[in-house]
Amino acid sequence: MADRVPTSRLARSGKIGKFAARQAVRNARLRFAKLANPKSADDEAVAQSFIDAADELVDMLGGMKGAAMKVGQMLSILDVKMVPREHRAHFQRQLATLRDSAPTVSFDNMRKVLEDDLGRPIDEVFAEFDPEPIAAASIGQVYRARLHDGRPVAVKVQYAKIASAVRADLKNLALLLKFSKPILPTFDSRAFLDELRYHLEEELDYVHEAQTQHELAMFYAGHPNIFVPDTVLELCRRRVLVTEFVEGLRFDEIRELDAETRNSVGEIVYRFYIGAIYLDNQFNGDPHPGNVLLANDGRVAFVDFGLFKRMEPAAVDFERAAVHAAMDGRADDFRTLLSGSAVLRTESDITADDLLAYAYDASPWTFDDDELQITAELAGGALLLIADPRSTDFERMHKENLPAEHFFSRRADFYTFGVIGQLEATANWHRIAREWVCGEPPSTPAGIADAQWRERKLRGLS
């Protein structure tokens, strides 16, 4: 167990440099082996080299925490088509360990952060505090505790000086991903790094997150299928977040349940992460398996709101109109909308039919009016169709300009279906989407329950 997370750019770039150097040696050895025996090409050596590099990359990302570990967590829910076929299962298992990885920072260090921010000893604040963390995230660890009034709580504590580590990572990750290219040959890191750079600073402020989570807990109070645990605002600090404790099943346990339950959870995940964009002009920008639990009362619980966005109504109206046009196959209307919003360059020669094909490739679940099982391969495959520089869609669209706000919501769509793909959930996602895109009546029992809850909520506010 490490006593602290290295925070300087030099220290953290040193880890990346060592990885890069060892990867270069591996590549050189493989090239030599192929030159010495070009007919056999030593497939076993190639496989072992890939596995060694993947293992080392995962170990390094987990140990570094900060933005580096965030990369691994995001990659863990993408389809492993990014990885050569013969190594996919191994690589995905390794990356999955980053979702709820074992702690690498001692409690003594974490205790100091906790007591420094609270301004008093732990036992004055908590009647009980378990020093063994129940989860380890990219910028902090989560503990179980009990307040003096008897309430069980989850306490998220940031790693000491993690803010410095995050800033160092953002400068070093381009180098890391460059030398990870043999492991992730089709991964386009530029947009990924831009997104991280823009949003990670916001995630470092737990007071901001606590207020957001409190507002959402109040908003979803009484919802039949969704639960957001409330925060204990008076105990939250910049590096300490205290919330209600959720009793229930973690994501890996949900994956082992029967298909009916997984389908139900998958639908609620879709409604919470994507439906909220259109119905409430807001959404959680970090769909992730570690943030989804099945509470003991049957509701799906959602945690972690450091990356939460509220959209301007006009931006949501544009997305709704554009998706509606694409759903109806109105290619010319779709292109006109995109041109009017500056998504397309004035001189763009991309055709209306090409745009429609791009939309279908990027989000097939939105446009396929049938029962569709989402798998990790399907979800990640859609992303690769538009992110892989070798694909037709990439060639069509890479010069166009998707505004940051809409890029963020599309990213949420990809990662939401990455989560659903891990559940292998089945639904008519198209019909569900038509509820909030086209204003059609609810298509499922969960949709009816949500509509009734919203109607009751509206009556209560009027």
Domain locations in the chain?
A: 9-103+162-201, 106-158+208-217+229-245, 309-461
For Cα atoms 266, 274, 454, give the angle at the middle one, nearest 5 degrees.
90
pLDDT band at 267 (very low <50, low <70, confident <90, very high): very high
Cβ-based neighbours of 189, under 8 Å, separated by 6 or more: 173, 174, 177, 178
- Compute the average pLDDT of residues 36-52: 51
Predicted TM-score (pTM) of this structure: 0.75
Residue 78 confidence (pLDDT): 52
The region of weakest confidence among 19-23, 173-177, 198-202 is 19-23
Residue 21 confidence (pLDDT): 46
Q: Say whether pLDDT at 39 is over 50.
A: no
Residue 15 confidence (pLDDT): 52
Q: Say whether pLDDT at 139 is over 60.
A: yes
- Compute the average pLDDT of residues 437-454: 96
- Compute the average pLDDT of residues 4-30: 47
C-alpha dist (Å) from residue 49 to 15, 16, 127, 382, 395: 19, 18, 50, 28, 32
Q: Say whether pLDDT at 63 is over 70.
A: no
> Which range among 69-73, 129-133, 287-291, 360-364 has the greatest average pLDDT?
129-133
Question: Are 179 and 194 in contact, with CB atoms under 8 Å apart?
Answer: no
Which residue reads 């639904």 in tokens? 427
Q: SS3 letters for the chain?
A: CECCCCCCHHHHHHHHHHHHHHHHHHHHHHHHHHHHCCCCCCHHHHHHHHHHHHHHHHHHHHHHCHHHHHHHHHHCCCCHHHCCHHHHHHHHHHHHCCCCCCCCECHHHHHHHHHHHHCCCHHHHEEEECCCCCEECCCEEEEEEEECCCCEEEEEEECCCHHHHHHHHHHHHHHHHHHCCCCCCCCCHHHHHHHHHHHHHHHCCHHHHHHHHHHHHHHCCCCCCEECCCECHHHCECCEEEEECCCEECHHHHCCCCHHHHHHHHHHHHHHHHHHHHHHCEEECCCCHHHEEEECCCCEEECCCCCEEECCHHHHHHHHHHHHHHHCCCHHHHHHHHHHCCCCCCCCCCCHHHHHHHHHHHCHHHHCCCCEECCHHHHHHHHHHHHCCCCHHHHHHCCCCCCHHHHHHHHHHHHHHHHHHHHCCEECHHHHHHHHHCCCCCCCHHHHHHHHHHHHHHHHHC
Between these two residues, 305 and 235, which has the higher pLDDT value? 235
Residue 391 confidence (pLDDT): 52
pLDDT band at 118 (very low <50, low <70, confident <90, very high): very high
Question: Are 363 and 386 in contact, with CB atoms under 8 Å apart?
Answer: no
**pLDDT 10s digits, 272-312:** 999 999 999 998 877 888 899 999 999 999 998 988 888 88
Residue 400 confidence (pLDDT): 58
pLDDT band at 426 (very low <50, low <70, confident <90, very high): very high
Q: Say whether pLDDT at 19 is over 60.
A: no
Question: Are 160 and 142 in contact, with CB atoms under 8 Å apart?
Answer: no
Residue 377 confidence (pLDDT): 78
Other beta carbons within 10 Å of 91: 24
Q: Say whether pLDDT at 235 is over 70.
A: yes
For domain 106-158+208-217+229-245, the CATH architecture is 2-Layer Sandwich (3.30)
- Compute the average pLDDT of residues 104-130: 93
> How far apart are alpha carbons 226 and 249 in whole angstroms?
15
Residue 454 confidence (pLDDT): 95
Q: What percent of the chain has pLDDT over 70?
A: 62
Q: Say whether pLDDT at 313 is over 50.
A: yes
Structure tokens at 156: 């998220």
Question: Are 225 and 215 in contact, with CB atoms under 8 Å apart?
Answer: no
Q: Say whether pLDDT at 207 is over 80.
A: yes
Residue 24 confidence (pLDDT): 45
pLDDT band at 152 (very low <50, low <70, confident <90, very high): very high
